[in-house]
Amino acid sequence: MSEKKYNVVVVGIGAVGEEMVKILDQRNFPCAELKVLARSAREEEVGGKTYSVKASVPEEFDGAQIVFFAGTEGAKGASSTFASEAIKRGAVAIDNGGDFRMDPKVPLVIPEVNPGALAGHQGLIASPNCSTIQMLVALAPIYRASRINRVIAVTYQAVSGTGRSAIRELDQQSRAYLSGEKEFQREAYAHRIAFNLLPQIGGFEDFDFTTEEWKMDRESKKILADDRIRITTTCVRVPVFNGHSEAVYIETEDEISVDRAREILSEAPGVKLIDDPAAGKYPMPIDVDGRDEVLVGRIRKDPHNPRGLHLWVVGDNIRKGAALNVIQIAEKMISDGML
């Protein structure tokens, strides 16, 4: 990391923004000054430190060099309102929200997958959806060994992706259910999430796929620069506090053995291979809380297709799926002399 220090702004102090602040501290990011903005001014304690949060107004971006927009899963607004203000004042804006991901002028980046897309940026870089990030961290190394023609995925997404209100809701509903109550407060979701599965994340679009499911398709194609790859997904909200899981099936152009896939993934950046099912070793959401890596296991050959592979992929959706990825983008830009 460069010895140069930067004036950094984090916009948003929900679940993702809080994690960004923690990670900046944990990774000793070269901050000359760290400013936290939100809708309203207040004091917030993060990681044992108290931060004076300021209200988001254009003048607060004066002097900023790097601005991280936290957002949450599916959230829009802050970056569309303030990114241009930050860029106008000389900052680079890195956005976790969904406003600019599919804008052809804005790079959509996972540092382990397509860091070259950062070249020629115009002051704004987008970070993909959490489920897209963890899937492609696992699939890109295989894609580089043999192009992937087909992806069929089912995601099992934790409530932390919706934000703090959903975490509280799962906790409250679980306690109520175990106490024998029959009525449940619902705020974050239309249906009870405790001891239930919700096969809808986002609104419904073409072919009755949800917005979350289309993100996996469209974002993956942009990141891999491959519009021919066929991707279909079913996204399910599950009663897990943190950590998304994905059952991913791929078909490659060339046959790749299970041993070769394990070899590729064992050497892949950002991946931790946990794949010894006979010994009961495979990734689970409880394993990823607070971890930087994407965990991969249950690698199996399709018994009906020699070019088919099944994988089980688990990641901390708030960390690598959001906060860490945007900070890694900034770190990559610093190391490459782009900041």
The CATH number for 32's domain is 3.40.50.720
Q: What percent of the chain has pLDDT over 70?
A: 98
pTM of the model: 0.95
Q: How far apart are the first and last CA of the chain?
A: 11
* Chain position carrying tokens 């299970």: 258
Kindly tell me if the per-residue pLDDT of 34 is higher than 90: yes
Nearest to 91 by CA among 55, 119, 61: 61
- Tell whether 193 and 304 lie within a shared domain: yes
Kindly tell me if the per-residue pLDDT of 77 is higher than 80: no
- Tell whether 192 and 278 lie within a shared domain: yes
Q: pLDDT band for 71, please (50, 70, 90 cuts).
A: confident
- Tell whether 119 and 148 lie within a shared domain: no
From 37-41, 195-199, 291-295, 331-335, the region with the lowest mean pLDDT: 37-41
Length of the chain equals: 339
- Tell whether 157 and 291 lie within a shared domain: yes
Letter for the amino acid at 213?
Answer: E
- Tell whether 300 and 159 lie within a shared domain: yes
Is residue 184 within 8 Å of residue 171, measured between CB atoms? no
In a domain, 10, yes or no: yes
Kindly tell me if the per-residue pLDDT of 74 is higher than 50: no
The single residue of 130, 191, 235, 304 carrying the catalytic annotation is 130
- Tell whether 157 and 122 lie within a shared domain: no
Q: What is the pLDDT of residue 47?
A: 87
- Tell whether 326 and 313 lie within a shared domain: no
Q: Domain range for residue 82?
A: 6-128+322-335
- Tell whether 232 and 270 lie within a shared domain: yes
Q: What is the CATH number of the domain that holds 265?
A: 3.30.360.10
Q: How far is CA 282 from CA 15, 218, 285, in A?
A: 27, 29, 10
- Tell whether 180 and 284 lie within a shared domain: yes
Q: pLDDT band for 1, please (50, 70, 90 cuts).
A: low
Angle at Cα 112 formed by Cα 73 and Cα 10, nearest 5°? Answer: 45
In a domain, 51, yes or no: yes
Residue 235 is a catalytic residue: no
Kindly tell me if the per-residue pLDDT of 13 is higher than 60: yes
- Tell whether 114 and 15 lie within a shared domain: yes
- Tell whether 184 and 240 lie within a shared domain: yes
In a domain, 153, yes or no: yes
Q: What is the pLDDT of residue 139?
A: 98
Kindly tell me if the per-residue pLDDT of 325 is higher than 70: yes
- Tell whether 106 and 74 lie within a shared domain: yes
Count of domains observed in the chain: 2
Kindly tell me if the per-residue pLDDT of 256 is higher than 80: yes
The single residue of 121, 191, 235, 244 carrying the catalytic annotation is 244
Residue 130 is a catalytic residue: yes
Q: pLDDT band for 75, please (50, 70, 90 cuts).
A: very low
Q: pLDDT band for 281, please (50, 70, 90 cuts).
A: very high
In a domain, 1, yes or no: no
Burial class (CB in 10 A: 0-12, 13-18, 19+), 311: buried
